[in-house]
């Protein structure tokens, strides 16, 4: 492979896993990683949407595999890790993108059942993924764990966003702690990405009166994430995209 090829596909030979890869930022990130040469495992619940993303990646000359599963089922995460470890020796990129917004409500009005479901997907599932794939991440020569966060987490809490913001604040702490635990004993580096206002279904739910044409598209975020994991960014690097 020539130097020019290396620049065109800086992630050639890498194995990536992206959650919430059936649409929005997850799909765009998967496509950007594949365009840079990574083989991408696409994780989400909806098979037709996953197949559409896989088809788009293949049409562009990339490589991907779909893995339909419900991330709130901890046993399914373990089975996925076992299947992937049986095919590849290492996992180089783990993008923790899947999340649910929940109902925007005052803290005393948060529905306890919905809150439990939100915490399961937004924080318990990422922890289960890190735990299941930790051996494969440590086996990589340059592993990256990327967590998607929000501007309304711990640093800038906002009224009525307590449930979602709290889950993302917890995710940031979880991923940062993992980075510190692995920093001196492996090649694992962790990053947090704050995408800012982006044209997604979740954004439309949160701001129904907003004109989507005024927002950046998910591919801008996907490209930024692909560039981040291909760079020499240090462990703990936080990427904040313009609004």
Mean pLDDT by 10 residues, the chain (243 residues): 64 98 98 98 98 98 97 93 96 98 98 98 98 98 98 92 97 98 97 97 95 97 98 97 88
Domain 3-240 bears CATH identifier 2.60.40.3880: no
Which pLDDT does position 224 carry in this prediction? 98
Question: Distance between CA atoms of 15 and 88, rounded to whole angstroms?
Answer: 8
Q: Both tokens of residue 54?
A: 């896989």
pTM: 0.96
Which pLDDT does position 1 carry in this prediction? 47
Beta strands in the chain (DSSP E): 15-19, 39-44, 63-68, 93-96, 143-148, 188-194, 237-240
Assess whether 164 carries a catalytic annotation. Answer: yes
Beta bridge partners of 191: 146, 237
Q: Which of the residues 160, 164, 178, 207 is marked catalytic?
A: 164
Domain boundaries, the chain: 3-240
């Amino acid at each position: 492979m020539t130097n020019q090829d290396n620049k065109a596909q800086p992630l050639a030979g890498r194995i990536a896993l992206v959650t919430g890869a059936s649409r929005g930022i997850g799909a765009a990130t998967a496509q950007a990683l594949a365009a840079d040469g990574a083989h991408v495992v696409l994780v989400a619940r909806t098979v037709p949407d996953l197949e559409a993303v896989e088809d788009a990646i293949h049409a562009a000359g990339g490589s991907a595999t779909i893995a339909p599963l419900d991330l709130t089922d901890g046993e399914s995460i373990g089975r996925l890790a076992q299947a992937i470890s049986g095919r590849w020796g290492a996992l180089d990129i783990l993008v923790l993108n899947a999340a649910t917004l929940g109902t925007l409500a005052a803290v005393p009005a948060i529905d306890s059942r919905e809150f439990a479901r939100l915490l399961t997907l937004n924080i318990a599932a990422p922890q289960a993924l890190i735990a299941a794939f930790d051996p494969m991440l440590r086996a990589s020569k340059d592993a990256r764990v990327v967590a998607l966060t929000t501007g309304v987490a711990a640093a800038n809490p906002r009224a009525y966003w307590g449930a979602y913001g709290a889950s993302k604040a917890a995710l940031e702490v979880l991923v940062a702690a993992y980075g510190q635990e692995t920093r001196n004993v492996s090649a694992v580096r962790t990053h947090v990405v704050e995408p800012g206002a982006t044209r997604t279904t979740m954004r439309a739910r949160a701001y129904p009166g907003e004109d989507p044409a005024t927002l950046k598209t998910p591919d801008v975020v996907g490209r930024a994430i692909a560039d981040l994991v291909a760079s020499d960014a240090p462990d703990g690097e936080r990427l904040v995209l313009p609004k």
